[in-house]
Structure 1
Amino acid sequence: MTLALLFPGQGSQSVGMGAALADAFPSAREVFAEVDDALGQKLSMLMREGPEDQLTLTENAQPALMAVSLAAIRALGAEFGVDVSRAGFVAGHSLGEYSALAAAGALSIGDTARLLKLRGQAMQRAVPVGQGAMASLIGPKTDLALAEAAAVAGAEVGVCVVANDNNAGNIVISGEKGAVDRAIEKAKELGARAIPLNVSAPFHCPLMQPAADEMAVALADAKIVAPLVPVVANVTARPESDPEAIRRLLVEQVTGRVRWRESMEWLATEGAVTRFAEVGSGKVLTGMAKRIAPDVESMPLNTPEDLEAFAKGL
């Protein structure tokens, strides 16, 4: 069996996430305390109690989602003797790539929390609220070719690109609001449904270049070591273990496309993965995995019961 551990991205957050892990495992509580200390913020209290609008803020959601994922990883090791090295690969969706790197030991938890806090703030600063937009193109006719055609139509008005190639039937576009509105019209003409997303900024598009510049400075000073297992990078959909390449790819990721479908296809074929386990809050990536690689077993790991069953099944 070849295992790949997957780490969720923004949108998987919810009030109360991680509480069951903290209540059950001292090792999980240690992770939440480390993140609180690194940020000088009671993020764990915000995660447990809300309010939801504060947790949803990009600068809070990003480190919070990482904290839940790493609490689950720490508990797997401390309570059940399952180390990340049991996996063949790790991968994370957008901010989840940072969680994957921390889980694989390439980044410390404290540094990861601080980098994600800055990443969220920098992304918010990059584009004034209301000037950017994102939309999800969904439905059986939605594939990359349709999404690219819609983005091209939008680009006649302003910046508009494919931001997240999640899976067939679920592709996200991002850019200037007027351009995304035009792309939505084109997508509907081509037979897709289009849903504007309630996001605070247009992620993974060229408008994020100021945020990429900020992250380049921060990542230049970050200590990154070779991960215990290869990390499949969002922007290349291929495994990477070289610290300097990881540093460069994390900068490119801010403006670049999240090639999740390609990443999962590579893991299921070239990587010969037979089991996907989504570590952290929610089940979004588990659902995507089942659509992209239906022959590969997929499961979420976000409750104490999930961790116990997973460990027993290895």
Structure 2
Amino acid sequence: MRAFIFPGQGSQKVGMGSELAEASVAAREVFGEVDEALKQKLSALMRDGPDDQLTLTENAQPAIMANAIATLRVLEQDFGVKLAEKGGCVAGHSLGEYAALCAVGAFGLADTARLLKLRGQAMQAAVPLGEGTMAVLLGADIDQAKALAEAAAQGQVCEVANDNDPSQVVISGHTAAIERAVGLVKDFGIKRGMILNVSAPFHSSLMAPAAARMAEALGETPPAAFTLPIYANVTAARVDDPEEERALLVEQVTGRVRWRESVLAMRADGVESFVELGGKVLGPMVGRIDKDAQVASLVTMADLEAFAKEIA
């Protein structure tokens, strides 16, 4: 069985999607529809920058989704590889869960773009700039990260945000607490801690105001039935029911991205290969989680052509 997976924030870069847009009508149609939905020339920002504007979470979130869905549409329309025929399930990392849901028909493209724009704005507004941040812990497993976060909190918020793979965990919370945690890494047998260049403490309890806004938005635009099951971030388990998934998307704003466990759950359920669309971030993570898993990361036209030939 094959899983199609969709990257999250941090995979954006100036120039993303440009080659696909030049080569494919299918890609240009995706970028045009997203621009129209947002009443914003997001495609121009993706193509030309500036980088500091693309990195803003309210722009990065819909941009990463648009690039992933454009990659999927090119694969389907230009190379004849249909996700519903060649895939057994989908999953996405953080905002990538929305891209995954769009890919399987739970949300239309325009609605997905608007939801992610709002999600980015809500997350940014939840905590005043400078009061919260995140850090990546390298050479840390989940138990080490939990122990470190608990020790560093000292009455503030310091929580595990992303359990990415066996050697990389991200923590999130109040800036002072995260800085304390980075200073304590050696005491917990962790190789290195680095503050991330992010504008808010995503996937922590400080995001509660953003979760409330997303609950309202998803009440107005709930996911419809999807053509393939999705593995949800916060449960690392298969979901088939749209109403269950709606509730999990709200919980995801403050909850941990359990990516390592999600990959292991998919493997246990029979997934042998993972195909990342629109990025080269999740593929390496999957390889570190399970060295026996087959992995492909599709970004360029050449990537898509080679993949289509391989599975023909």
- TM tier relative to shorter chain: over 0.9
- Show structure 1 runs of 4+ deviating over 4 A: none
Provide the rounded CA distance (Å) in 2 between the counterparts of 1:222 and 1:304. Answer: 33
Which residue in the other structure is 1:125 paired with? 125
Alignment of 1:34-183 (within 5 A): 34-85=33-84, 86-139=86-139, 142-183=140-181
Does the Cα contact within 8 Å between 1:80 and 1:308 map onto a contact in 2?
A: yes
Provide the rounded CA distance (Å) in 2 between the counterparts of 1:296 and 1:21. Answer: 27
Provide the rounded CA distance (Å) in 2 between the counterparts of 1:102 and 1:155. Answer: 37
Unaligned runs of 5+ in 2: none
Provide the rounded CA distance (Å) in 1 between the counterparts of 2:155 and 2:185. Answer: 15
For residues 80-138 of structure 1, give each alpha carbon's deviation from its aligned partner in whole angstroms, at most 9, with x where no partner exists.
11111120110000000000000111100000000000000000000001100111110
Q: What is the SS of the residue equivalent to 2:184?
A: helix
> Is 2:265 the counterpart of 1:288?
no
What RMSD, in angstroms, separates the aligned Cα atoms of the two structures?
0.9
The offset of 1:187, in angstroms, is 2.3
The offset of 1:191, in angstroms, is 2.1
Does the Cα contact within 8 Å between 1:152 and 1:183 map onto a contact in 2?
A: no
Q: What is the SS of the residue equivalent to 2:193?
A: strand
The aligned amino acid for 1:299 is: A
The offset of 1:169, in angstroms, is 1.2
Work out the number of aligned pairs and report it: 309
Provide the rounded CA distance (Å) in 2 between the counterparts of 1:255 and 1:117. Answer: 17
Q: What is the SS of the residue equivalent to 2:169?
A: strand
Q: What is the SS of the residue equivalent to 1:254?
A: helix
Calculate the TM-score normalised by the size of structure 2. Answer: 0.97
For residues 11-52 of structure 1, give each alpha carbon's deviation from its aligned partner in whole angstroms, at most 9, with x where no partner exists.
000000101111111011100001000000000000000001
Does the Cα contact within 8 Å between 1:146 and 1:187 map onto a contact in 2?
A: no
Alignment of 1:187-226 (within 5 A): 187-192=185-190, 193-226=192-225
Q: What is the SS of the residue equivalent to 2:173?
A: strand
The aligned amino acid for 1:298 is: V
For residues 241-261 of structure 1, give each alpha carbon's deviation from its aligned partner in whole angstroms, at most 9, with x where no partner exists.
211011100000000000000
Which residue in the other structure is 2:21 paired with? 22
Does the Cα contact within 8 Å between 1:157 and 1:178 map onto a contact in 2?
A: no
Unaligned runs of 5+ in 1: none
The aligned amino acid for 1:41 is: Q
Q: What is the SS of the residue equivalent to 1:80?
A: coil
For residues 227-277 of structure 1, give each alpha carbon's deviation from its aligned partner in whole angstroms, at most 9, with x where no partner exists.
110011000001112110111000000000000000011112x22111111
Alignment of 1:251-270 (within 5 A): 251-268=250-267, 270=268
Does the Cα contact within 8 Å between 2:260 and 2:289 map onto a contact in 1?
A: yes
Q: What is the SS of the residue equivalent to 1:175?
A: strand
The aligned amino acid for 2:159 is: V
Q: What is the SS of the residue equivalent to 2:225?
A: coil
The aligned amino acid for 1:172 is: V
Provide the rounded CA distance (Å) in 1 between the counterparts of 2:222 and 2:126. Answer: 25
Does the Cα contact within 8 Å between 1:277 and 1:301 map onto a contact in 2?
A: yes
